[in-house]
């Protein structure tokens, strides 16, 4: 069942008019350039650290965006991120795999789980799917906590070594993260622009109609879900090597909800949404550090407002304002 059907303005399809597409590409390139240039401005360790966190989170939120564009939401992405973290760290520290292999493992393990449960869970209509992912996330976290011999339990894994000596430099790690983020987000953009993207839109709008048109609905959903889980696994690996200490509390429902908030508040209909949401969500707490409760109140209110009245999130709001200003100016939108 389509999730966003109740709102009158239909979501813009993936096949955007060429000019809007070019505009987005330009904006995306500009943003990438900003990130590329950042270290050269000598901003200091802390800001570099913040930017790295931003990039890692952006990979995770854009991976969730794939599921959102399918018309649903997963409340288990924090747990899948954890799967990627533990998989990477354990394969590197216990099996002695080299870093590139550990990265691949961090993609494969959560993707494999996604592939295994996907066919069963994605049959459920949107609301039940969300509830099931909620429970799944909890079970996975419980396994992290209980399987002490493997994961270190609640005490986690401490002293994760640098992948390579060079990565001890914050700048080197930052650039590496940037490259991976560009690749992952680029992949997501590509998928959304392609034929599959259009299929996803059809499924979101009306899955039964899509099914009747010959679209293999379940297969597409499973494929996208698997990809999404794999990508968030990669962000998990980066997270592990960045903080150098992982424990189950980092992969709880709170983290999953954070990703959802970023997608919803940023904007569920465009790839720019989760990116805007990530920036908003990672930067704002730094200004309100020490006022955690206020942060949560603001995020809570944002969620209510967006779900009640502003389905397109911040990005949608900007788009609407532009439309409005165009109308006022008398130009054609």
Query: Is residue 198 a contact partner of residue 12, using CB atoms and an 8 Å limit?
Result: no
Q: Do residues 267 and 313 make contact, with C-beta atoms less than 8 angstroms apart? A: yes
Instruction: Pull the structure tokens for residue 33.
Output: 């350039």
Q: Is 308 in the site for another protein (CB under 8 A)?
A: yes
Determine which residue in the list 23, 29, 116, 297 makes contact with another protein, applying CB under 8 A.
297
**Among candidates 86, 81, 128, which has minimal Cα distance to 234?**
81
Single out the residue of 118, 156, 163, 236 in contact with another protein (rule: CB under 8 A).
156
* Residue among 84, 69, 102 nearest 229 (CA): 84
Member of 21, 94, 116, 148 binding another protein (CB under 8 A): 148
Kindly state whether residue 284 participates in binding another protein, applying the rule CB under 8 A: no
Distance CA 69, CA 124 (A): 17
CB under 8 A: which stretch of 212-220, 223-231, 290-298, 323-331 binds another protein? Answer: 290-298
Alpha carbon distance 106, 81 (integer Å): 9
Q: Is residue 264 part of the contact set for another protein (CB under 8 A)? A: yes
Out of 41, 100, 165, 214, which residue is the one contacting another protein (CB under 8 A)? Answer: 41
In the complex with another protein, which residue's Cβ is closer, 121 or 185? 121
Q: Which is nearer to another protein, 83 or 104 (CB)?
A: 83
Residue 121: CB partners within 8 Å, gap ≥ 6?
Answer: 129, 132, 133, 136
Half-sphere exposure of 309 (CA within 13 A, CB side): 4
By CB under 8 A, is residue 30 in contact with another protein? no
Site membership for another protein, residue 131 (CB under 8 A): yes
Token pair, residue 252, equals 């709880």
Number of residues that bind another protein (CB under 8 A): 69
Stretch of 91-99, 145-153, 186-194, 220-228 contacting another protein, by CB under 8 A: 145-153
Beta strands (DSSP E) in the chain are 157-158, 245-246
Point out which span in 135-143, 181-189, 215-223, 324-332 binds another protein (CB under 8 A): 135-143
Residues 262, 18: Cα–Cα separation, whole Å: 27
* Residue 145 binds to another protein (criterion: CB under 8 A): yes
* DSSP character at residue 248: G
Which residue bears the tokens 């419980």?
142
Residue 147 in contact with another protein, rule: CB under 8 A: no
> Footprint of another protein on this chain (CB under 8 A)?
1, 3-4, 6, 34, 37-38, 41, 43-47, 49, 53, 73, 120-121, 124-128, 130-132, 135-136, 138-139, 142, 145-146, 148, 153-156, 158-159, 243-247, 249-250, 257, 260-261, 264, 287, 289-290, 292-294, 296-297, 299-304, 306-309
């Amino acid at each position: 069942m389509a999730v966003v059907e109740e709102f009158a303005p239909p979501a813009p399809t993936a096949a955007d008019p060429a000019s809007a597409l070019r505009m987005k590409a330009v904006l995306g390139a500009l943003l990438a350039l900003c990130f590329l240039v950042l270290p050269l401005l000598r901003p200091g360790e802390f800001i570099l650290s913040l930017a790295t966190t931003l990039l890692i989170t952006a990979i995770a939120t854009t991976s969730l965006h794939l599921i959102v564009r399918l018309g649903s939401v997963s409340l288990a992405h924090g747990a899948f991120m954890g799967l990627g973290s533990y998989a990477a760290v354990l394969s590197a520290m216990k099996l002695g795999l080299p870093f590139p292999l550990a990265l691949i493992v961090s993609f494969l393990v959560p993707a494999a789980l996604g592939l295994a449960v996907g066919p069963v869970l994605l049959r459920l209509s949107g609301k039940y799917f969300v509830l099931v992912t909620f429970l799944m996330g909890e079970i996975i976290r419980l396994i992290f906590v209980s399987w002490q011999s493997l994961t270190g339990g609640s005490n986690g894994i401490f002293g994760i070594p640098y992948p390579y000596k060079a990565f001890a430099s914050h700048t080197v790690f930052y650039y590496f993260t940037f490259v991976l983020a560009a690749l992952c987000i680029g992949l997501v953009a590509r998928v959304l622009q392609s034929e599959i993207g259009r299929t996803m839109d059809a499924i979101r709008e009306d899955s039964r109609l899509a099914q009747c048109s010959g679209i293999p609905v379940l297969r597409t959903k499973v494929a996208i879900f698997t990809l999404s889980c794999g990508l968030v696994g990669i962000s998990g690996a980066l997270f592990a090597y960045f903080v150098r200490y992982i424990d189950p509390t980092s992969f709880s429902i709170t983290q999953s909800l954070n990703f959802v908030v970023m997608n919803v508040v940023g904007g569920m209909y465009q790839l720019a949404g989760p990116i805007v949401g990530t920036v908003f969500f990672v930067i704002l707490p730094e200004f309100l550090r020490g006022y955690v409760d206020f942060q949560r109140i603001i995020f809570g209110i944002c969620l209510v407002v967006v779900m009640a009245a502003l389905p397109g999130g911040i990005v949608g709001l900007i788009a609407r304002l532009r439309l409005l200003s165009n109308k006022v100016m008398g130009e054609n939108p």
